[in-house]
């Protein structure tokens, strides 16, 4: 016990290295990473965006970043499954905290998110964003496209989010369509996985429907994703409602007939060769959750993003 410490989020002396906080105590940054606004030396940045004013059904995803951070404390300091490694032995990761948004002036929200995301991306760090509803992906995509050009979008979701809008709406159901029309994503190399609803337009994206996810193996789904993206810079967005409500009840627009968390995590495990330049987890709404089931799924997905980065760095080294 004397060798252990607590509140690693504030007391850590380096950006690498495991924490030793008790699971039930200590400051709740994401996976106990140091809370800091100093980007120097950071290879990956975890950033919360507590916004849910674009939802069409149940609100509450503004509390998603808090819930995901809290759930991430369950990851102890043993090597993380299935990566067989301490993710932070050599990978420098910080928790940058949350985006400050004016709840009374939503028209400023897109520019605020985009401006802050652009600063984080400019630092050279890999950005992992915790939503928030799915609208927040729109300004984040714009910030990534400013650096990489139109990105290939890999979207895990029950919804296509391609509903038409006027380019000004604050709406979590239209960001994909807007991104395709404005050339922020490369629709010809983008793919949606887990779709269980219909929108009027697919905007040129390939769709792997929910029933296909059920029938295909995780390796087959991953193969389709890798083929579609064709080596282009990839932005990976994960709406937690991609999962069946049995595995993610805490979300605003749940849709029955989705995959298990185990199935989709297996898909992610097969995506290590993708050129992923940024990623997010959105639509975790803890007010509708049970025993942190949804938050744990969201935290695990974000952990997988960091695990994939750690593996890539190890291979390069």
Mode of pairing for the β-strands spanning 234-239 and 276-282: parallel
Residues paired with 35 in a beta bridge: 95
Cα 317 from Cα 314, distance rounded (Å) = 5
Per-residue pLDDT tens over the stretch 29-77: 999 999 999 999 999 999 999 999 999 999 999 999 999 999 999 997 7
Q: How does residue 78 score in pLDDT terms, banded at 50, 70 and 90?
A: confident
User: Who contacts 307 (Cβ-Cβ below 8 Å, separation ≥6)?
Assistant: 80, 82, 83, 85, 87
pLDDT at residue 291, as a whole number: 97
Phi-psi region of 78 (alpha: psi -120 to 50; beta: other; left: phi over 0): beta
Cα 114 from Cα 147, distance rounded (Å) = 12
Model confidence at 99: pLDDT above 80: yes
Q: Are 160 and 199 in contact (CB under 8 A)?
A: yes
Other beta carbons within 10 angstroms of residue 1's beta carbon come to: 4
Mean pLDDT of 239-261: 98
Model confidence at 1: pLDDT above 50: no
**Domains of the chain by range and CATH?**
8-316 (3.40.800.10)
% of the chain at pLDDT higher than 70: 99
User: Who contacts 2 (Cβ-Cβ below 8 Å, separation ≥6)?
Assistant: none
According to the annotation, is 161 in a ligand binding site?
Answer: yes
Cis peptide before 307 (omega within 30 of 0): no
Higher pLDDT, 78 or 94: 94
- In Å, how far are 158, 220, 251, 285, 307 from 254, measured between CA atoms? 8, 25, 6, 11, 27
According to the annotation, is 98 in a ligand binding site?
Answer: no
Q: Among 252, 247, 242, 248, which residue's Cα sits nearest to residue 283?
A: 252
Model confidence at 264: pLDDT above 50: yes
Q: How does residue 94 score in pLDDT terms, banded at 50, 70 and 90?
A: very high
Residue 207 has phi, psi (to 5 degrees) of -120, 130
According to the annotation, is 134 in a ligand binding site?
Answer: yes
pLDDT at residue 144, as a whole number: 98
According to the annotation, is 239 in a ligand binding site?
Answer: yes
DSSP 8-state symbol, 185: B
pLDDT at residue 3, as a whole number: 64
- The alpha carbon of residue 143 and the mean position of all alpha carbons in its chain are separated, in whole angstroms, by 15
pLDDT at residue 236, as a whole number: 98
According to the annotation, is 7 in a ligand binding site?
Answer: no
Mean pLDDT of the chain: 95
């Amino acid at each position: 016990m004397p060798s252990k410490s607590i509140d690693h989020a504030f007391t850590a002396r380096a950006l690498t290295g495991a924490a030793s906080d008790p699971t039930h105590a200590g400051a709740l940054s994401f996976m106990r990473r140091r809370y800091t606004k100093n980007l120097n030396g950071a290879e990956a940045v975890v950033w919360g965006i507590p916004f849910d004013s674009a939802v069409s059904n149940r609100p509450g995803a503004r509390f998603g970043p808090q819930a995901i951070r809290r759930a991430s404390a369950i990851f102890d300091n043993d090597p993380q499954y299935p990566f067989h490694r301490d993710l932070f032995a050599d990978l420098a990761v910080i928790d940058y905290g949350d985006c400050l948004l004016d709840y009374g002036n939503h028209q400023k929200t897109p520019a605020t998110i985009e401006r802050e995301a652009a600063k984080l991306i400019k630092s050279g760090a890999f950005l992992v964003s915790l939503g928030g509803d799915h609208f927040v992906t729109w300004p984040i995509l714009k910030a990534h496209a400013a650096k990489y050009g139109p990105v290939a979008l890999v979207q895990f979701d029950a919804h296509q989010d391609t509903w038409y809008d006027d380019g000004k709406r604050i709406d979590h159901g239209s960001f994909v369509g807007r991104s395709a029309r404005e050339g922020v994503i490369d629709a010809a190399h983008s793919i949606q996985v887990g779709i269980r609803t219909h929108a009027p337009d697919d905007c040129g994206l390939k769709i792997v429907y929910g029933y296909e996810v059920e029938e295909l193996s995780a390796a087959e789904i991953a193969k389709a994703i890798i083929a579609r993206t064709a080596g282009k810079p990839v932005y990976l967005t994960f709406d937690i409602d991609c999962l069946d409500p049995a595995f993610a009840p805490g979300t605003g627009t749940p849709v029955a007939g989705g995959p298990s968390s185990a199935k989709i995590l297996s898909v992610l495990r097969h995506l290590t060769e993708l050129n992923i330049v940024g990623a997010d987890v959105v639509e975790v709404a803890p007010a509708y959750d049970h025993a942190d089931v949804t938050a744990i799924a969201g935290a695990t997905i974000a952990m997988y993003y960091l695990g994939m980065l750690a593996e890539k760095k190890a291979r390069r080294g």
